[in-house]
Structure 1
Amino acid sequence: MDGFEDVLIGTIGRAHGLRGEVSVRVRTDEPDLRYVAGGSVLIDGRERELASVRWHSGTLLIRLAGAADRTAAEALRGTDLWARVPADAVPQEEDAYYDRQLVGLAVVDAAGERVGTIADVRHLPAQDLLAVRTPVGERLVPFVSALVPVVDLEAGVVHVADVGGLLSDPEEPGSEPQVQGRG
């Protein structure tokens, strides 16, 4: 390993204007770090220079070197943009994590029992969700400290709070105490 990883940072959307600009669906928490005019992004493993970068009405617009008109911009629609980052890079904020640090970690319940593995991190407007692969299917866990109190990257584990229905369905055996009626 050369000490670097390729990380998905965005997907090109519609063309904007006539001079080769495209909108970008940003897929990074650090757009100002990843999108810099004169810098580069990776497309299909090859570097492409960012000729221009700007925000317009809350949408990131970029122009790649060599994409000089709307036709060239439209041809890029749907293309993923990647960045090559140091493998040991961590976010600057405390208690913040890159998706690549979380995917693959073991998930344990309050009793310390392994209940699954993080398969994906989904970024929604209200909050991020951890997609946890369990023996009974995928479960979505809101990535908030009340429900995910411990993230231990060194141990490769995430602890999830004991909340009924969070990692299991109520009808699953052992997920809820059963009350026996007299009959």
Structure 2
Amino acid sequence: MQLVVGRIGRPHGVRGEVTIEVRTDDPDLRFAPGTALATDPPGRGPLVVERARWNAGILLLAVAGVHDRDAAESLRGTLLVVDSADIPALDDPDEFHDHELVGLSVITAGGEGVGEVAEVLHHGQDLLVVRRPGGDEVYVPFVKALVPEIDLEKGLLVVDAPPGLLDLGETE
């Protein structure tokens, strides 16, 4: 399974650097210099990271063979992917990779169906994007107090949400 670890955004400057929309919980490892990243669409890669740096909270990459703004612009929107088999297992049983959570069925502590984990966002606070059966989404902070149980074998994630958290997006 291919996992998206980033998406190339707009060029930065005139020397071929690109901004990266980070979609991994370990950007320093995934975008380390010398790392070759497969792409989607596949015809653009692999792309080899020459240099990575943070600027005002935005990850900037210099990629081998991309040395001007036009070449950087041609990569805009390209997804950077890794094979899930290449991601080592975690030692801590309370830690999970994003791809392990996406697709889990979400229920309340009382057993009521909520939806399915569609995505994990990393914005200082990790958030689970839960897609409800009607197509709308709710965001659940990924903390032990609100997500007390995860059973990967059963494909289940239990949410113990305070009143109103799961009602967001519902109309009366």
For the aligned pair, the TM-score class normalised by the smaller chain equals 0.7 to 0.9
2:23·2:121 contact (CA, 8 Å) conserved in 1?
no
- Return closer, same or farther for 1:151/1:35 CA change in 2, 3 Å cut-off: same
- Return closer, same or farther for 1:112/1:77 CA change in 2, 3 Å cut-off: same
2:115·2:130 contact (CA, 8 Å) conserved in 1?
no
**Matching residue's letter, 2:151:** D
- Return closer, same or farther for 1:155/1:53 CA change in 2, 3 Å cut-off: same
Q: How many Å separate the matches in 2 of 1:42 and 1:89?
A: 18
The Cα offsets for residues 43-72 of structure 1, whole Å up to 9 and x where unpaired, read as: 222412223323344432212222121211
Q: How many Å separate the matches in 2 of 1:36 and 1:157?
A: 33
Q: Which of 19, 22, 27 in structure 2 is aligned with 1:26?
A: 22
Q: Which of 11, 22, 40 in structure 1 is aligned with 2:7?
A: 11
Q: How many Å separate the matches in 1 of 2:80 and 2:34?
A: 15
Q: How many Å separate the matches in 1 of 2:134 and 2:16?
A: 47
> Larger C-alpha radius of gyration, 1 or 2?
1
Counting only pairs closer than 5 Å after superposition, residues 31-50 of structure 1 correspond to structure 2 as: 31-43=27-39, 44-45=41-42, 46-50=45-49
TM-score by length of 1: 0.75
Structure-2 residue corresponding to 1:74: 73
**Matching residue's letter, 1:18:** V
Q: Kindly indicate whether residue 89 of structure 2 is the aligned counterpart of residue 85 of structure 1.
A: no
Q: How many Å separate the matches in 1 of 2:89 and 2:7?
A: 22
Structure 1 unaligned regions, length at least 5: 173-183
Provide the aligned C-alpha RMSD in A: 2.9
Structure 2 unaligned regions, length at least 5: none
Mean CA deviation greater in 64-73 or 127-136: 127-136
How far off is 1:23 after superposition? 1.8
Q: How many Å separate the matches in 1 of 2:11 and 2:114?
A: 44
Structure-2 residue corresponding to 1:180: none
- Return closer, same or farther for 1:58/1:111 CA change in 2, 3 Å cut-off: closer
2:4·2:79 contact (CA, 8 Å) conserved in 1?
yes
TM-score by length of 2: 0.79
Structure-1 residue corresponding to 2:107: 108
- Return closer, same or farther for 1:70/1:143 CA change in 2, 3 Å cut-off: same
Structure-2 residue corresponding to 1:131: 130
Kindly tell me the number of residue pairs found equivalent between the two proteins. 168
Structure-1 residue corresponding to 2:54: 55
Structure-1 residue corresponding to 2:159: 160
SS at match of 1:167: helix
